[in-house]
Amino acid sequence: MKTNIKILTLVVILLLTACSRTSPELAESTVDEIVPESRTIPVDADVEEPPPTTVIPSATATEQPLPEATPTAIFTFEIANSPLLTQIEMLDPLNGWGQAEGMILRTEDGGESWLDITPEDIFNDPAYAKSLFVDEKNGWVLVEDYDNFNVGLLYSTVDGGANWTWRNTPFGRSEIAFADEENGYALTDLGAGAGSMGVAIWQTKNSGDDFNRVFQHESGYDSSLPFSGIKNGITFIDSQNGWVTGSQPQDAFIWFYRTQDGGFSWEHQELEMSVGYENAQTSAYAPSFFEDGQGLLPVYLHGEESAMVFYRTDDDGESWDAAQTIATRGKYAMVSANEIVVWDGGETLFFSLDTGESWQSRTTTWQPLDTLRSLDFISATEGWALTDDGLYKTKDGGENWERSGN
């Protein structure tokens, strides 16, 4: 099972306008003509608020509705010619999303080929844009304004890229999280320096139709979410309960803060250090939650030797226990509450089938020639490794790999 939808990492966004596979300048939707190397695809036709004195003014916008799609409409997508992928998100053995230079992509055959579903005249290059994909139909991509990092455009689709809606946002590059289809959050970098980083947090309660800025660091103001520390991730399990993760150059301290009022106030959540790493410095990354209150929190341990540990919860994050430390610090895939894969791109891949309580190793017959960008597994045996050289796939837990596509 893939990582719970709840952690989806996406912006909370100011809506302005809508387009149907069009650019922000166009008012009408268009459908590509069928070309020889293309595939035709049928399209299937309250929260408790804190005291008023803590509320920061909201930002809202009205979205123009998309033209209604005819149930029998057929949309055509061109097949991208050997795209050099920069990001992937696989959902099951066949379906997944990808990004490449100038393109947003979707696969229906496990990465062997990629459909170009990019909105026409997209505002900027989406290759490294923050994105969130819930299933084979629903996705969001936040594209920055490179001339003004305080704003951006959010593109969203509910039909696998046949139509796109775009919205202006009052922030640019942000870490994103959605607890469900309606409630989402964005963590926006306001600037960092000397081990510190200011952030703003935005909330939506209606899939991004409008949103509020619920938190923002102010110069000289010491808030419940410290200015100190480099923030790197945000996760919410519902409209009220969430976490922000990060790192700080301090021994025996895990930068892990939680909110229980929708992001208005925060408190540090204490975690016990792993045995043998009691004085290590750490980097915590956004936790993932699964069914029945289960979740995993990945933490890198910086000591004399590189290591990492996964903290486990079975009560929706009320308490966390450290699993077995693993002597590596590579890319990881949290497949389910029980299955975890870790690989640094070397000869040995590590995996756990019991929530990190024990680890097994497997020697791989292939190692990336270039940088290992990401690791994405949908089960303990089937997964993908994205490198600078291309996309590779395994069906035996990482022992053997084959290049995916051309």
Are residues 233 and 343 located together in one domain of the fold?
no
> Is 188 part of any domain?
yes
What is the chain's alpha carbon radius of gyration, rounded to the nearest angstrom? Answer: 21
Are residues 164 and 286 located together in one domain of the fold?
yes
Domain final residue pick, 301, 325, 349 = 325
CATH number of the domain enclosing 135: 2.130.10
Domain final residue pick, 325, 355, 382 = 325
> Is 390 part of any domain?
yes
> Is 55 part of any domain?
no
Are residues 368 and 405 located together in one domain of the fold?
yes
Are residues 303 and 340 located together in one domain of the fold?
no
Instruction: Domain count for the chain, please give it.
Output: 2
> Is 292 part of any domain?
yes
CATH number of the domain enclosing 377: 2.40.10
> Is 65 part of any domain?
no
> Is 66 part of any domain?
no
Are residues 321 and 360 located together in one domain of the fold?
no
> Is 68 part of any domain?
no
Are residues 293 and 167 located together in one domain of the fold?
yes
Domain final residue pick, 292, 325, 358 = 325
Range of the domain at 344: 331-406
Are residues 313 and 281 located together in one domain of the fold?
yes
> Is 353 part of any domain?
yes
Are residues 348 and 311 located together in one domain of the fold?
no
Are residues 364 and 340 located together in one domain of the fold?
yes
Predicted confidence pLDDT, tens digits, the chain (406 residues): 444 433 333 333 333 333 333 334 333 333 333 333 333 333 343 434 444 433 333 444 334 343 343 333 445 789 998 899 999 999 999 999 999 999 999 999 999 999 999 999 898 999 999 999 989 998 889 998 888 888 888 898 999 999 999 888 888 889 988 888 888 899 999 988 888 999 999 998 887 777 789 999 986 566 899 999 999 999 999 999 999 999 999 999 999 999 999 999 999 999 999 999 999 999 999 999 999 999 999 999 998 888 999 999 999 999 999 999 999 999 999 999 999 999 999 999 999 999 999 999 999 999 998 899 999 999 999 999 999 989 999 999 999 999 998 5
Are residues 207 and 255 located together in one domain of the fold?
yes
pTM of the model: 0.80
Are residues 179 and 257 located together in one domain of the fold?
yes
What pLDDT sits at residue 222?
62
Are residues 287 and 380 located together in one domain of the fold?
no
